[in-house]
Structure 1
């Protein structure tokens, strides 16, 4: 996230161990979209902690999610984005260029069109060449497709630091290869399902670590085009599960809108909750949701599982893939599929600021 003062780390404790997502044979969703594999878990079924991760959701909390992503696929994407070869994905570096090419290819393979002439949205507020990557999946409804749900994450990190035990690469696995992977997997699902009545925009921001420059640029550019933004759903630092919570993720600016309530209704359970520390440190203003809030004044908020106690490698060389919980991430992705499907298909706008 946008720089949080170092004294915060006095609150950090050692993160918990990893959990693996229990694998089952994939089946076609009954009457579902062609080409999408998985099985729908309904609210009548009980999801065990073994399946969903010990700290994710209590075993008595039944939620709807689609068995689509899995720990192997998550690990494959994370392994590339947070590899040493990308040298921490600093904005304007050869490493982030490799990440940009990877993201572009994922969009292309899944039939997501460029929002602009190409996938690249060149920043006008950064000295070196830097790009957001932006794709669009047009909605299926003639009227609702004019309204846009943006699903975003920043894919840059801070590059190289002073060496610690010979390691100078701040790989940025949790910050924010995890959010980027989540958006890529959601994109892959909807690219196959094409079950969205509203149009979905998948946005990958550069220069977040420089002061939200990528999202500021894109928000300004879209505002000038009279872009019909309905909501902006951002994913930031979701690589490890929350500790001792009865919800799976928190949302920044919880009290500002009804987003958590709507998410939990579509999830048929307590997927999204309130983290007091997020309000204390005003995380609502510290990630890429905020420029869209400022320009469009529509629900624009960030989902995260970084709770100031479960991860102690923020902006450090220890933010490695080995610290991530791929099973937790896969369940988070699968749990948000019915949420985004519900939001994009609701006949009337239901997300509102309080």
Structure 2
């Protein structure tokens, strides 16, 4: 009996050691670095939606999926999951305040007006002024969510973020066909204007084009629990070309989210080599996260959310987290026992998962996990970004050279190990309460 126990103990140790060696051989620093460097290279032109750069990035991801040996999703003849949206680009923007024409470079328009739109202070929601003492983005998000026809005055101290958003929006906004038929709204932000003494006038027009978007998705079929799905994801789009800073205009998006997309690809390679998944694993690089989460939304509509056991969305793991080395946080930690399962599987290791330390940022419903989470899926985002102090976020300085590549490697390995019981079908996270429709 003692000999038998000793045999099993030795076998267990050998198996555990082999698994540890396997992950170090499969997910190597050179492999991870190669993926991130390629995805965040200048050649990808910032991976802006509807640009040649994002097509190059998709082709690269397809090539990696093919090398790994992933299968296309059921019913698909390739890795691209193509769908269509309508792109609106401003063709006419005229704004005047108290009879004075505002220079075009001082006007930023947010709206879904598909036709010519004219309004003034008598037939709109009037005008407001942003508080110069409060964070710009916090105010901006609140105003945009209101979907009004309104003039918004912006203090000159916000000039840098104003120009950044303006450059991004002028590349075009994206709408569903049904949105084109809904009542139009337009928020017109005017820089360096203190007040409206008497009146204002706005005259806007957009051009409309039907354009393709594409997620890149592959799968490893499950065995005994093949109908149950586990999703690993990251978004591969970014902001494209921005106003130049020190002669650099490419928003490379190394952390946001080449790091997460790299993790997703590396995990696909790891689990394909392991070949022990009882559940079906889906690996997907989402498009259009930066312009409204269209890729994740379309993907979610193609499957039954009741079949999805868990979703590991990975976003911005390129730097040390607020909790120090060997740590990451999980959005919506308290909404299911997903995080507790992951931490249980890392018992004895130095890596720890923590609840989201930035609840005021509402990150849980701001990333690509949101659509499935709203439908009851234990869909969470894993990140290490210190979002409240990250000065490189959405700038041209988010480059490979700014990353802590060791942090990325350790986080990917921690996710790989912590997800094993879910992948193998021995753990099932509790469902998230569905959002009221």
TM-score normalised by the chain length of structure 2 = 0.63
| Counterparts of 1:183 and 1:287, CA distance in 2 | 15
Instruction: Describe the superposition over 1:98-132 as per-residue Cα deviations: whole angstroms up to 9, x where unpaired.
Output: 11011111111111001022111112335422100
Matched residue SS, 1:130: strand
- 2:77 is aligned, of 117, 133, 153, to 117
Residue of structure 2 equivalent to 1:249: 328
Residue of structure 1 equivalent to 2:300: 219
Q: Does 1:164 align with 2:245?
A: yes
Residue of structure 2 equivalent to 1:342: 421
- 2:341 is aligned, of 236, 240, 262, to 262
- 1:137 is aligned, of 220, 241, 256, to 220
Matched residue SS, 1:317: coil
Residue of structure 1 equivalent to 2:28: 70
Residue of structure 2 equivalent to 1:92: 50
After TM superposition, give the deviation of residue 243 of structure 1 in Å.
3.5
| Counterparts of 1:250 and 1:244, CA distance in 2 | 8
After TM superposition, give the deviation of residue 348 of structure 1 in Å.
5.4
- 1:317 is aligned, of 396, 402, 408, to 396
After TM superposition, give the deviation of residue 329 of structure 1 in Å.
0.8
Instruction: Describe the superposition over 1:274-319 as per-residue Cα deviations: whole angstroms up to 9, x where unpaired.
Output: 2331x1111001000001112x311011000012256321110000
Q: Does 1:281 align with 2:367?
A: no
After TM superposition, give the deviation of residue 38 of structure 1 in Å.
6.5
Matched residue SS, 1:211: coil
The answer to which of 245-254 and 157-166 deviates more is 245-254
Residue of structure 2 equivalent to 1:326: 405
Instruction: Describe the superposition over 1:39-61 as per-residue Cα deviations: whole angstroms up to 9, x where unpaired.
Output: 528xxxxxxxxxxxxxxxxxxxx
Equivalent residue pairs, number: 293
| Counterparts of 1:173 and 1:325, CA distance in 2 | 11
Matched residue SS, 1:100: helix
- Answer whether contact 1:91 1:207 (CA < 8 A) is retained: yes
| Counterparts of 1:210 and 1:179, CA distance in 2 | 18
After TM superposition, give the deviation of residue 247 of structure 1 in Å.
5.9
Instruction: Describe the superposition over 1:6-56 as per-residue Cα deviations: whole angstroms up to 9, x where unpaired.
Output: xxxxxxxxxxxxxxxxxxxxxxx9458xxxx96528xxxxxxxxxxxxxxx
After TM superposition, give the deviation of residue 157 of structure 1 in Å.
0.2
Unaligned runs of 5+ in 1: 1-28, 42-64
Assess, with a 3 A threshold, how the Cα gap between structure 1 residues 260 and 247 changes in structure 2: closer, same or farther. farther
- 1:154 is aligned, of 235, 250, 270, to 235
- Answer whether contact 2:326 2:411 (CA < 8 A) is retained: no
- Answer whether contact 1:250 1:303 (CA < 8 A) is retained: yes
Residue of structure 2 equivalent to 1:24: none
| Counterparts of 1:326 and 1:348, CA distance in 2 | 30
Assess, with a 3 A threshold, how the Cα gap between structure 1 residues 351 and 247 changes in structure 2: closer, same or farther. farther
The answer to which of 148-157 and 234-243 deviates more is 234-243
Q: Which has the higher contact order (CA 8 A, sep 6+)?
A: 1
Residue of structure 1 equivalent to 2:130: none
Instruction: Describe the superposition over 1:147-206 as per-residue Cα deviations: whole angstroms up to 9, x where unpaired.
Output: 000000100001000111111100000000000000010011112111211010001100
Matched residue SS, 1:163: strand
- Answer whether contact 2:317 2:383 (CA < 8 A) is retained: yes
**What are the residue-to-residue correspondences of 1:10-29 with 2, within 5 Å?**
none
Higher share in strand: 2
Residue of structure 2 equivalent to 1:231: 310
Residue of structure 2 equivalent to 1:301: 380
After TM superposition, give the deviation of residue 87 of structure 1 in Å.
0.6
Matched residue SS, 1:208: coil
- Answer whether contact 1:136 1:199 (CA < 8 A) is retained: yes
Matched residue SS, 1:200: strand
Residue of structure 2 equivalent to 1:45: none
